[in-house]
A and B are shown apart, each in its own frame.
Chain A
Amino acid sequence: MGLELLVLLIYLVLMMLLGIYEYKRTKGVIDFYLAGKKLGVIVVSFSFFATYFSTAAFLGGGGFGFVAGFQWSAFLIFFHILFAIAAWLIIAPPMKRIADEHGALTIPEIFGMRFGKLSQLVAALIIIVFFQFYMVSIYKGAGNLLEVMLGLDYRTAVLLTAVIVMFYTAIGGFRAVVMTDLVQGILVFIGGVMLFVVLMFYLGGPINAIESLKAAHTVMGSGTKLFELGSVAPPPIMKAGMVIPFILSLTFAISIAQLASPQLVIRFVAAKDSRVIAKGAVLTPLIIGIFALCVFSIGPFGWLIIPQFDDPVKYLKNSDLVVPFIAMKIFPAGLNALILTAIVAAAMSTINSLVHVIATSFVRDVLQNAVKLKKIVLPTRLSVFVFSLVPVIFALNPPDIIVVIVGLSFSVITSAFLIPLLASFYSRTTQLPVVSSMIVAVAVCIIWYLYFYKVYWIYPVVPGLAASALTYVVFLRAERAISAAPG
């Protein structure tokens, strides 16, 4: 454990030093908000990758295949690659152009300039509220991981993560966010690929591993079920007969976030120019694809390792434990430390981006519209401080209602932002359809999650997006019909 802790501490000190270095290079608002809009392709690509993949990618994405087999792995990989390509080919080029034309600093500000102030305010409020809850889940993931793997006290682990992220984000702004993302992204990528490669060596090569897995006996029955569509899933979903809709909707929901998450889209705005976007469109889907192929395929192979050492039922109930357990068993101590640090890096690279987006939206899109501020860097730094710590309170002692909101926060953001982002490329859009689509997306996600999700097992992003798109079209047409009517 000593070596793991030492490597982790070195990593944490490095992140703080990077924050101090970038603080000295931060000269004004554009630097603090968008890293001077001078980011090159390597930084933008790895920052996009590191921000998108949080601890959930390693623990949830990698581990759930233990419960749901290769149907989970295959569709999660498929949708990740599909939407990574779509994000860089469809969203990135026009987003960069529009943001440069308007001189916007945040995604809600783009909405404000394209559609009107109300859309800016609504978008900012959705970001502030739901990203705060999203952060709770990532703090919890990091805290649990450090508690299980290093034996740290859960509270200490959450506070340690929060304070370090807060420190370098508050002082170094977006420069610190993307430069730490670069280090974290490389670490996460190497850690994920290495974990899969070592696992394959440990199991005697991929062909041997697959044959052994087919011959294995699992708690659910034959190992061949792991290779079939619709054969295995958690008991309530099996009982409802909704395995395929559940797998397809959840893998779709997780992956499509790449198209619409403000913390990702803002990286397109911060790119140096459109040539960076064009190169990123080649590089980023390859990084995401290779990582997804490796990490998301790990879970099912847990059946060849976990039953040798422990009761697999425990891991069926909490599949987040699968990847850390495999890493602990197959790696020697030094490499083990690297994997642990990679998983912590995955958490921190997502938290820093979320808190930066929240703080910039709060100051630029809410506060500055209410009170005319001459300088916004200091208020944004203070906001980073506050918004980093608020989710810690909930992560340390989450009440039941918070658990529900955290569960759907990811869905709400994707559902609420995809249609307005696409609409911002369309010159004839007005404010009413955009604002309506965002509000309906939030409402449908919440209602679906509370009353229908555990009946139909279709993830809220699907109905949320459908309702958002439908609302947008209906309001757009109605508005046109009214304006075209005589008199």
Chain B
Amino acid sequence: MILEAVYGVSIVMMFVGALIAKIYSRKLTG
């Protein structure tokens, strides 16, 4: 159960990370 959760969190984190980078891209380029 724990390992399934770690897998799930990893996949969600991958897409959320990309989304955060996209949203904050203007700040990153500043």
Contact = CB atoms under 8 A, between A and B. Distances in A.
A293 B21 contact: no
A470 interface: no
Contacts of A290: 14
B21 A71 contact: no
B25 A278 contact: yes
B13 A75 contact: no
Nearest to B26: A278
A81 B29 contact: no
Given A70-B3, A74-B3, A282 B29 contact: no
Given A82-B13, A85-B17, A282 B6 contact: no
Interface in A58-88: 70-71, 74-75, 77-78, 81-82, 84-85, 88
Contacts of A277: 28-29
A177 to B, nearest CB: 25
A74 B14 contact: no
Interface in B12-30: 13-15, 17-18, 20-22, 24-26, 28-30
Nearest to A273: B29
A289 interface: yes
A289 B10 contact: yes
Given A85-B17, A89-B20, A282-B21, A274 B10 contact: no
A15 B26 CA distance: 37
A30 interface: no
B3 to A, nearest CB: 4
B10 A286 contact: no
Contacts of B13: 78, 81-82, 85
Interface residues of B, number: 21
A93 B3 CA distance: 33
A75 B6 contact: yes
B29 A278 contact: yes
Contacts of B15: 286
B12 to A, nearest CB: 10
A125 B10 CA distance: 36
Contacts of A71: 3
Contacts of A273: 29
Contact of B7 (A74, A283, A285): A74
A70 B18 CA distance: 25
Contacts of A84: 17
B25 A281 contact: yes
A279 interface: yes
Nearest to B25: A278
A71 B25 CA distance: 34
A290 B17 CA distance: 13
Contacts of A283: 18
A382 interface: no
A229 interface: yes
A57 to B, nearest CB: 16
Chain A CB count within 10 A is highest, among B10, B11, B18, B29, for B10
A84 B25 CA distance: 16
Contact of A293 (B11, B18, B22, B29): B11
Contacts of B30: 274
A285 B3 contact: no
Identify which of A81, A229, A275 gathers the most chain B CB atoms within 10 Å of its CB.
Answer: A81
Nearest to A285: B17
A77 B7 contact: yes
A156 to B, nearest CB: 40
Given A74-B10, A78-B10, A81-B13, A286 B18 contact: yes
Interface in A217-254: 227-229
Contacts of B28: 89, 93, 274, 277-278, 281
A278 B10 CA distance: 21
B29 A289 contact: no
Contacts of B11: 289, 293
A229 B2 contact: yes
B28 to A, nearest CB: 4
Contacts of A274: 28-30
Nearest to B6: A74
Contacts of B17: 81, 84-85, 89, 285
Contact of A229 (B3, B10, B14, B21): B3
A89 B3 contact: no
4 nearest A-B pairs in the assembled complex, by CB-CB distance: A281-B21, A289-B14, A85-B17, A278-B25
6 contacts: A74-B3, A75-B6, A81-B14, A82-B13, A289-B11, A293-B11
Given A74-B10, A81-B17, 20 more contacts: A71-B3, A74-B3, A74-B7, A77-B6, A78-B7, A85-B13, A89-B20, A89-B28, A227-B3, A274-B30, A275-B25, A275-B29, A278-B29, A281-B25, A281-B28, A282-B22, A282-B25, A285-B14, A285-B18, A285-B21
